[in-house]
Structure 1
Amino acid sequence: MTIVAELSPVKPSESEFVDRMGLVMERLGATRSMGRLWAWLMICDPPDPSLTDLAAELSLSKTAVSTVARQLEAGGIIERVPTAGREHRYRAVGGGWAQILRVQLGLVKQSLETLEYGLSILDESRAAQRVRLEETRDFFAFTVQDGDEMLHRWQEYRDASS
């Protein structure tokens, strides 16, 4: 027999935080539901609610929660918790934002190859177009370098503060 803790009642301030984080994630290009789910998993008690509990708490369908949870899990900011039964439970994990940034920087690195190709197809008579591509390539290269350095500094900061 599995004993599962009941969720504590939601305080209005917690609901507001969840809704605010939904807006933050939406501004970052994700969905509001992603932000709300992630926010709730960061503050809920117990810290590993079931899919059913999440759907009820967030006023979303179980299908919507499942879809968003898989996306957040793939991004590395939540994880599915092992259970004895078939019930899906989730919790927030640390280090996810650094992983998301690593993935994004990888995409920027891939873009550098495309920009180099673009430069290779433009001859010198198309100077204005080349300048735009070179500036974009240089910005992306700078972003990758600075991002990698920032992630290194972040890890040092985390190591020093733990």
Structure 2
Amino acid sequence: MISEDRLHAAVERVGMTLESVGMSRMSARVFAYVLAEDSDRYTARELAEGLRASPAAISGAVRALVDARLLIRERAPGGGRGDIFRVVDDDVWATILSARIPLIEHLQKAVGEAVEMLDDGSPGRRRLEQTRDFFEFSQQDMAGMPARWAAYQRNRPR
């Protein structure tokens, strides 16, 4: 079993990195904790104790993570009070990426509609066309990524 100090060091390292790319500090720490800690389900109290944080800070962080579909909220077994939080599944990043595909498709469609509102050949239209095309490319690439990831995992020497 990993020591509490080593767990906290790992959580802070991942949390700081997630924070540096735009996640709020507490959400980053909570997400890093559920990735690094050995349990697969957590109450808000367990998260607060594990992160040495206030229940209010945990409440806001898990709300943001659930809204972003990085965590799932479930009712406690047996109708008990409180919720249980967990990552989407064991392959969390492939699941998160797959869940983002509809967002990319939505952006692509909206930008495509905006392209048609602008004059042919205008600088603004060219930039929006490039944006639309980038989203189309990204959507197609992302759609194939889970299969490429699975192949990578199967073929990677351990």
TM range (shorter): 0.7 to 0.9
| 1:138 and 2:133 matched | yes
Q: Establish whether residue 26 from structure 1 lines up as the match of residue 36 from structure 2.
A: no
Instruction: Count the aligned residue pairs.
Output: 153
Asked if the contact 1:118–1:133 (Cα under 8 Å) also holds between the matched residues in 2, the reply is yes
5+ unaligned residues in a row in structure 2: which ranges? none
Cα offset, 1:87, TM superposition:
4.5
1:54 aligns with 2:47: yes
TM-score by length of 1: 0.74
Q: 1:42 aligns with which of 35, 38, 52?
A: 35
1:80·1:90 contact (CA, 8 Å) conserved in 2?
yes
Does structure 2 retain, via aligned residues, the 8 Å contact 1:22–1:31? no
**How many angstroms apart in 2 are the aligned matches of 1:122 and 1:135?**
14
In 1, Cα distance between equivalents of 2:83 and 2:107: 37
TM-align CA RMSD:
2.9
Q: Would you say the 8 A contact 1:82–1:89 is kept in 2?
A: yes
TM-score, normalised to structure 2, is 0.76
Q: Contact 2:71 / 2:85 at 8 angstroms: preserved in 1?
A: no
- Match in the other structure for 1:119: 115
* 1:77 and 1:95 in contact (8 A); partners too: no
> 1:3 maps to what in 2?
none
Query: Displacement of 1:122 after TM fit?
Result: 1.5
User: Partner of 2:49: helix, strand, or coil?
Assistant: helix
**Unaligned stretches of 5+ residues in structure 1:** 1-7
